[in-house]
A and B are shown apart, each in its own frame.
Chain A
Amino acid sequence: DTEVTQTPKHLVMGMTNKKSLKCEQHMGHRAMYWYKQKAKKPPELMFVYSYEKLSINESVPSRFSPECPNSSLLNLHLHALQPEDSALYLCASSQVAVPTYGYTFGSGTRLTVV
């Protein structure tokens, strides 16, 4: 299995809703990432988990709350989002200590906040 699976593929939510994005990989990767990508822009790093512990938080607003319940799963909990949070949210994973391996990205969740 060489895939990163993200669900749902599309999500429309109101500004008062609470929703979660899910990401799963079974490649034995111990680093997992959340990225936000706006149209025609490169992905922007949000969070990095290394061995299920939060390593990096790139000053992301608290309305985004990541969770890594085990080495295969990564969640992103969403609450009280703003319309400007509408974007493609990408999950990625990588081997932690092997620098010759890059990242494997999921196909993303297209989020629309109304």
Chain B
Amino acid sequence: KNQVEQSPQSLIILEGKNCTLQCNYTVSPFSNLRWYKQDTGRGPVSLTIMTFSENTKSNGRYTATLDADTKQSSLHITASQLSDSASYICVVRAGGTSYGKLTFGQGTILTVHP
């Protein structure tokens, strides 16, 4: 069964600090992995997408890593801002079908305090 597990479930940090969110997956065959940011009551917004051959990708203050051998990914946020408070969801897309089925993690709820 395809699964995506994220840790921690929730995280509280002070504004300006860095943090790292983790994602472990067992999805086969693997197509790509995407990190989404979701504000409460809003749709998920893509931060990064990584394929099998990529091991690091940055988008501003967000840097994602992927280790396809250990099936682990991380999302590092530098110099956090109050607006970073949201749920961060790791989503793995399986290959093998023309549309690709998604497996969602449960998300990490990040709270940034002033």
With a cutoff of 8 Å between Cβ atoms, the chain B residues found around residue A107 in the complex are: 42-43
Q: Is B102 an interface residue (CB 8 A)?
A: yes
Q: Which of B80-101 contact A (CB under 8 A)?
A: 87, 89, 91, 93, 95, 98-101
With a cutoff of 8 Å between Cβ atoms, the chain A residues found around residue B93 in the complex are: 99, 102-103
With a cutoff of 8 Å between Cβ atoms, the chain B residues found around residue A108 in the complex are: 41-43
Interface size class of B (residues with CB under 8 A): 20 to 34
- Contact pattern, A 25-37, Cβ under 8 Å of B = 1, otherwise 0: 0000001000000
- Contact pattern, A 1-36, Cβ under 8 Å of B = 1, otherwise 0: 000101000000000000000000000000100000
Q: Determine the residue in chain B with the shortest Cβ distance to A44.
A: B104
Segment among B20-28, B44-52, B57-65, B67-75 that sits at the interface with chain A: B44-52
With a cutoff of 8 Å between Cβ atoms, the chain B residues found around residue A40 in the complex are: 87, 107, 109
A residues neighboring B (CB under 8 Å): 4, 6, 31, 40-43, 45, 48, 50, 55, 88, 90, 94, 96-97, 99-108, 110
